[in-house]
Amino acid sequence: MRKVLLVGGAGYVGSVLAEELLERGYAVKILDRLYYGDDGLRDIRDRVELVVGDMRTAQPDILEDVDAVVNVGGLSNDPTAEYNPRANYEMNTLATKKLAELCKQQGVRRYIFASSCSIYDRGVGNDFRDVIQDEESEVAPKAAYSGSKWEAEKILLGMADQDFCPVILRKGTIYGFSPRMRYDLVVNTFVKFALSQGYITLHYGGEMWRPLVDVRDAARAYIACLQADEEAVRGQIFNVSYQNYRISELGLRVREALRGVGVNCDIRVDYGYKGVRSYRVSAQKIDRVLFFRPKVSVEESVQDMVEKIRRYGYDDFENPKYYNIRWMRLLEEAHKVISITGSVFDAPQTGE
């Protein structure tokens, strides 16, 4: 298995995964609409095959010479999914199914799908249900994002057979630096506020639980699923998490890590309710089956993040491109304007 189609390969996880694949000798073809530009590929642009396109309209030729597919594309958080549930369902569910059908038609056996541990969310205030959940736990996600991922999971598992090997990774909330940086993820948000305002805020008192994993460990988990024997991973779901943390503990860990690189910040607590998510998961299965265990701690990742933010100049923290929902809204507004005005600098056509 040498050539991988990476759907969403210019995104937050995809750009890191693309680098990891190249380091291991894989040929990488990327399908990405480039909503966020190609900054994520700046160091590897000449080493990957980039196809600019929408996953919803993928054609069979996208799989030419491809040995496996890793699908990390689609809309990737609750605010974006709630903003446009139709597009969320089309990308996260329908396009996932279509791509799997193309794989079966073209004889591409392995298909690895990016799902989410948010499928396990039970919210705060349900202490009697506050248990560590694993891949066998009963789930019933209600949110547009997690619901679309769960629907896609069920479709893929129903397609598994001796000629098709779908694998599902339910990842915890990701943290860490990526060339296509995001500041709308909890650890990254803490770092952003510490660097820009000198404090971090714990919403709802930080009482929520969340499984977390570094972006580089997430990339390594995908590669572990690529390299595993089919019999070990066919039709399997794997949780990927470094550890479960209360957000309050997470804030303390981030503050201590920042002190180690000369950044001091306060912690402020907001006890107002904001519809927060809360859940804990077990990642023992992927350790038991694939001998995979995440390595990068929150503290190590935070210090690496600060160093790279400074080195690469990612300190324009309010730039909307670092926030999925802000950027999508900006693109939509720009599209509305340009559909009326036409090209920004060219004179409009007069029809003569």
Q: pLDDT tens per residue, the chain (352 residues)?
A: 699 999 999 999 999 999 999 999 999 999 999 999 999 999 999 999 999 999 999 999 999 999 999 999 988 777 787 888 899 999 999 999 999 999 999 999 999 999 999 999 987 665 556 689 999 999 999 889 999 999 999 999 999 999 999 999 999 999 999 999 999 999 999 999 999 999 999 998 999 999 999 999 999 999 999 999 999 999 999 999 999 999 999 999 999 999 999 999 999 998 876 667 899 999 999 999 999 999 999 999 999 999 999 999 999 999 999 999 898 899 989 989 888 888 877 877 765 5
Residue with tokens 């996208």: 62
Amino acid occupying residue 164: F
pLDDT in the model for residue 125? 61
Neighbours of 34 (CB within 10 A): 15
Structural domains in the chain, CATH included, are 3-182+210-244+280-298 (3.40.50.720)
**Residue 300: what pLDDT?**
98
Instruction: Write out the two tokens for 159.
Output: 């397609």
What is the rounded distance in angstroms from the CA atom of residue 222 to the CA atom of residue 110? 12
Q: What number of other Cβ atoms are within 10 A of residue 264's Cβ?
A: 10
User: What is the predicted pLDDT for the residue at 122?
Assistant: 81
55 close to 8: Cβ distance less than 8 angstroms: yes
Residue 275 has what pLDDT?
A: 62
Please state, in angstroms and as integers, the Cα–Cα distance from residue 151 to each residue in 49, 105, 141, 159, 219, following that order: 30, 21, 10, 13, 23
Q: Residue 61: enclosing H or E segment and its boundaries?
A: none
Report phi then psi at 164, rounded to 5.
-140, 130
pLDDT value of residue 317: 96
Q: How far apart are CA 74 and CA 218, in angstroms?
A: 17
pTM, entire model? 0.93
